[in-house]
Amino acid sequence: MSGAMRIFFLVSAALIVLAHIFSAHGAICRRMQCQKMDGRCEVECLSFEDKVGGCRAELTPLCCKKRKIN
């Protein structure tokens, strides 16, 4: 019985690690996409910046970009 319990906990731990790896990969891709749009990921955009899109990370949900002056 203890052998089955060990395998169960190892498989559970492996699944948790994989879930963290794949969620981090998505956040990195969104951050790179924001940088391609000449923006940056922040919690809140400054008054002279526009909200371009979403970085959707826990601490940096917005992609901010400086406004262009006409």
Q: What is the pLDDT of residues 27-65, one digit of tens each?
A: 677 778 777 878 887 878 888 888 877 776 666 677 778
pLDDT of the residue at 25? 64
- For the beta sheet containing 62-66, the strands, ordered from the edge strand earlier in sequence to the opposite edge, are 40-42, 62-66, 49-54
* pLDDT value at 66 more than 80: no
pLDDT of the residue at 7? 92
Q: What is the pLDDT of residues 5-35, one digit of tens each?
A: 899 999 999 998 887 777 666 667 777 877 7
* pLDDT value at 1 more than 60: no
Q: Is the dihedral of CA 48, 51, 54, 58 positive or negative?
A: positive
